Amino acid sequence: MKIFITGLAGFLGSNLGIRLANNGHEIFGNDNLIGGNLDNIDKRFNFFESDCCDLDKMTEIIPEDTDVVFHCAATAYEGLSVFSPHFVTKNIYDATVSTVTASIRKKIRKFIFCSSMARYGNQEHPFVETMSPKPEDPYGIAKAAAEDTVKNLCDTHNVDWTILIPHNIVGPRQKYDDPYRNVISIFLNKMMQNEEIYIYGDGNQKRCFSYVDDCIDCMEKCITHEATSKQIINIGPDEETVTIKEVAELCANEIGHNKDPIFTSQRPQEVKYALCSSDKARSLLDYKTRFTLKDSIKKTSEYIKSRGPKKFDYKIRLEINNELTPETWKKKLI
Instruction: Map 255-269 to HEC letters.
Output: HCCCCCCEEECCCCC
Tell me, what's the pLDDT at 173? 97
Rounded CA-CA distance 17/43 in Å is 11
Q: For residue 295, count CB atoms less than 10 angstroms from its CB and return exposed for 0-12, middle for 13-18, buried for 19 or more.
A: middle
**Residue 33 DSSP one-character state:** S
Residue 89 is predicted with a pLDDT of 98
Give residue 231's pLDDT.
Answer: 98
Classify burial at 323, counting beta carbons within 10 Å of its beta carbon; exposed 0-12, middle 13-18, buried 19 or more. Answer: exposed
The predicted-structure confidence for 241-251, as pLDDT tens digits, reads as follows 999 999 999 99
pLDDT band at residue 85 using 50, 70 and 90 as cut-offs: very high
Return the pLDDT at 219.
98
Euclidean distance between CA atoms 334 and 331, whole angstroms: 9
Q: Is 201 within 8 Å of 263 (Cβ atoms)?
A: yes
Q: Band of the pLDDT at 232, cuts 50, 70, 90? A: very high
pLDDT-above-90 percentage for the chain: 100
CA 183 to chain centre: 12
What one-letter code names the amino acid at 169? I
β-bridge partners, 160: 110
Q: Give start and end residues of each alpha helix (H) in 62-116.
A: 85-89, 95-105
Q: Give the model's pLDDT for residue 34.
A: 95
- Average pLDDT for the chain: 97
DSSP-derived 3-state class of residue 150: helix
3 state SS of 38: helix
User: What's the average model confidence in pLDDT over 202-223?
Assistant: 97
Say what the pLDDT of residue 170 is.
98
Contacts of 39 (CB under 8 A, 6+ apart): none
Cα 243 to Cα 260: distance, rounded to the nearest angstrom: 16
Mean pLDDT throughout 78-107?
98
Q: By percentage, how much of the chain surpasses pLDDT 70? A: 100
Which pLDDT score is estimated for 286? 96
pLDDT bucket at 217, cuts 50 / 70 / 90:
very high
Confidence (pLDDT) at 331: 97
- Mean pLDDT to the nearest integer, 276-292: 97
Single-letter amino acid, residue 134: K
Q: How far is CA 83 from the centre of its chain?
A: 19
At 14 the pLDDT is: 98
Please state the pTM of the whole predicted model. Answer: 0.97
The closest alpha carbon to 110, from 17, 224, 25, belongs to: 224
pLDDT value at residue 125? 94
**Helix (H) / strand (E) containing 309:** none
pLDDT one-digit tens code per residue, 302-332: 999 999 999 999 999 999 999 999 999 999 9
The C-alpha atoms of residue 141 and residue 27 are separated, in whole angstroms, by: 30
Instruction: Please name the residues in contact with 258: beta carbons below 8 A apart, sequence gap of 6 or more.
Output: 252
Mean pLDDT of 192-220: 97
DSSP designation for 276: B
Q: What is the pLDDT of residue 308?
A: 98
Strand partners, 27: 3
Q: Which domains occur in the chain, in start order?
A: 2-167+212-235 (3.40.50.720), 170-207+238-276+290-316+325-330 (3.90.25.10)
- CA neighbor of 6 nearest in space, from 43, 32, 39, 40: 32
Q: Answer whether 11's CB lies under 8 Å from 175's CB.
A: yes
**β pairing state of 26-31 and 46-49:** parallel
